[in-house]
Chains A and B, each alone.
Chain A
C-alpha cells in the first residue's frame, strides 16, 4: 500500500445560511484556497473528485454545476460520488494506490439552508419499506438513542455532556456555527424534539464547502525538499464498511461497521492524539468512541465536531481535513478521522493519519 499525503485543506465558515452564495461560489472559494496555500494551480492537479447530494439541489445531476468552479480548461479527469466527500477522497486514494494519479483535488459541498433537513435524507432511504412512511432523521436517531437508554448504557445526562464539550471545544474553532459555555442543566431543561432527543442533541443545519489536496508520498517529500510545503499528514490506514439498510435487521445499539472499519484501518496500532468523528447526534459520539476503540487519552473532536456545524456531504471530508491540518501544524502526531452516512450510523469510513 502506498502512503498518500494530505498537503493542504480549506473550508468555508459553517454558516446557518450562506445567503445568495451558490454552490459554485462556495466550491470556488475552498478549492482555490487549498491550491493557493501550497502554491499549486489547477495545472498541478491530475484528478478531481467531489461529493454532494442532488436532493439538496432538487435536480438530477445538480452536482455538475459545481464543476464550473474549476473551469472547463484545461480538461481534467473528474469524478463525483453521491455521498459525503470523504468517500470522494476514498475514490481518489484508490486511484493513487493503482498509480493512476499523483495529485488529486477533493471537494465536498452542501447548501442545506433552503431544505427541510429533517426530511431530505429520508429520500435516500429504502424506497419500499422506509421512505413512504416519511421517518425524519431525528425520529430514526431517537430509536437508536432509546436502545442505549433501555440497556442502561448511557443516560440523557451523558448525551448532554457531549453537547457541553462540543460547544466548549468549538470556542477555539473560527469556522464553528454553534459554540459557547453551556451547562448540562441548561440542556436537560430543553423540550424534546423527538424524545429522547433535544434540539441540542442534534447537529445544526449548515451551508458550506471544503477541499483538500492529496499527493503521493514521493511528491510530498519532493515538495518539502523544494521548500514548497513544510509538512504533510500521511494516510496510513483507510477503510469503509456498511451495515444493512434495514434498521430492524441489525443491532442499532452498536456501530458494527465502524468497529470493522477502525480495525481494518489500524486505529489500534498506536496511540491516538486526536479524533474527529462524524456524529450527527450527541449520543452517537459515545457509540463511535466505543466502536472504534478510542480511549480517554485521545482528544475528541477538538473542532467541536458535528454538533458545532454540519455541512451535509462535506462534513466527513472536513473531519479528515481537521485532523490533517493539526498534524501539519504540529499539534498532533497521530490522529483518527471518521465519516458516516445513512441512518443510525449505517455506513462508516475511518482514516488514520500520521505525521
Chain B
C-alpha cells in the first residue's frame, strides 16, 4: 500500500451532467415567471395550454401565440404528503396538485401549502412567488389558497 500522500485524488460527482436550452416557447414562459407573470399558449382549436408547449397537441404545428394569464387557478386533483421527502419543494405536510390556471384549458403540476382540510378538488389557489427567481419552474415556490 502506498502512502496516502502518494495517491492522486480528484473530486467526483456521480451525475448526468447534461445541460439543456429552453427553446423558443419555454424560454418565454420561464422569463415571464422570473417577472412574476404566467403565460399560456393558444392551440389550433383555440384552447390555451399552460404551461405552454412548442407544438400543437393535435396537428403538431409550431405554436407561437403566447397569452398572459393570471397567477390564480383551480385544483383539478391532489394528493397529500404527510411526511415530505428531502427533495420535495416543501418540508412540512403539503399537497401535490394539478392546477388549472384561470384562462387555461390544461393544468400544471405544483405543490400547495394549505391546511389539509381546505385542500379539495375545485379549491381556488394562487401562486406564492419565490423571492429569488432565476427563470425555472421553482420560481413558483408553491401555491396557496386564494
Contact = CB atoms under 8 A, between A and B. Distances in A.
A138 B96 CA distance: 11
B109 A248 contact: yes
B63 interface: no
Interface string B104-139: 001111110000000001000000000000001110
Given A129-B51, A129-B137, A146 B121 contact: yes
User: Which range contains the number of B residues in contact with the other chain?
Assistant: 35 or more
Nearest to A125: B109
A194 B49 contact: no
B123 to A, nearest CB: 12
A144 B109 CA distance: 12
Contact of B88 (A134, A142, A246): A134
Interface string A140-175: 111111110010000000000000000000000000
A290 interface: no
B20 interface: yes
B14 interface: yes
Contact of A142 (B80, B85, B89): B80
A197 B51 CA distance: 27
Contact of A133 (B78, B107, B138): B138
B85 A136 contact: yes
A133 B51 CA distance: 14
Contact of B89 (A134, A141, A195, A252): A134
Nearest to A127: B20
Contacts of A195: 79-80, 82
Interface string A239-270: 00000101111001000000000000000000
A168 to B, nearest CB: 28
Closest 9 CB pairs of A and B: A142-B79, A248-B107, A195-B80, A134-B87, A249-B106, A139-B96, A146-B77, A248-B98, A143-B77
